[in-house]
């Protein structure tokens, strides 16, 4: 599996693409983020029709400001370059897949 961790350039390239994009804003010291990590990775493997990216807020503070990330984990769902949904806090795999279906 490819590395889901992307920087600013990688994220902008994904968002500009044709696929819907799920972005997980996280940090290594965040317990709920560590709970979400395997769920996000599973969803990335199982849904190749969706681009998935992980942004470490400690490594990419500019992106945290740009997308108004106040709490982590925060999941942003993009379609056509626009944010269409924002999920703050950890969610189950079932709930995440339900959100992706709505995408």
C-alpha distances (whole Å) from 36 to each of 26, 32, 101 are 9, 6, 18
Parallel, antiparallel or unpaired: strands 51-56 and 21-26: parallel
Instruction: Summarize pLDDT for 10-45 with one digit per residue, the tens.
Output: 888 889 988 999 999 999 999 999 999 999 999 999
- Active-site residue 33, yes or no? yes
Specify the pTM. Answer: 0.92
- Active-site residue 30, yes or no? yes
Instruction: Summarize pLDDT for 61-93 with one digit per residue, the tens.
Output: 999 999 999 999 999 999 999 999 999 999 999
Q: Which of 21, 22, 30, 96 does the annotation list as catalytic?
A: 30
Q: Say how far apart CA 98 and CA 95 lie, in whole Å.
A: 5
Structural domains in the chain plus CATH codes:
8-82 (3.40.30.10)
Q: Which of 4, 23, 33, 51 does the annotation list as catalytic?
A: 33
Backbone angles phi, psi at 3, to 5 degrees: -70, 125
């Amino acid at each position: 599996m490819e590395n889901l961790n992307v920087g600013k350039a990688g994220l902008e390239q994904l968002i500009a693409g044709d696929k819907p994009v799920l972005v997980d804003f996280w940090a290594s010291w965040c317990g709920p983020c560590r709970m979400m990590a395997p769920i996000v990775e599973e969803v990335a493997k199982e849904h190749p029709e969706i681009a998935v990216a992980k942004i470490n807020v400690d490594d990419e503070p500019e992106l945290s400001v740009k997308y108004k990330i106040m709490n982590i984990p925060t999941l942003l769902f993009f379609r056509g370059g626009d944010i269409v949904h924002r999920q703050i806090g950890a969610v189950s795999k079932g709930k995440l897949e339900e959100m992706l279906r709505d995408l």
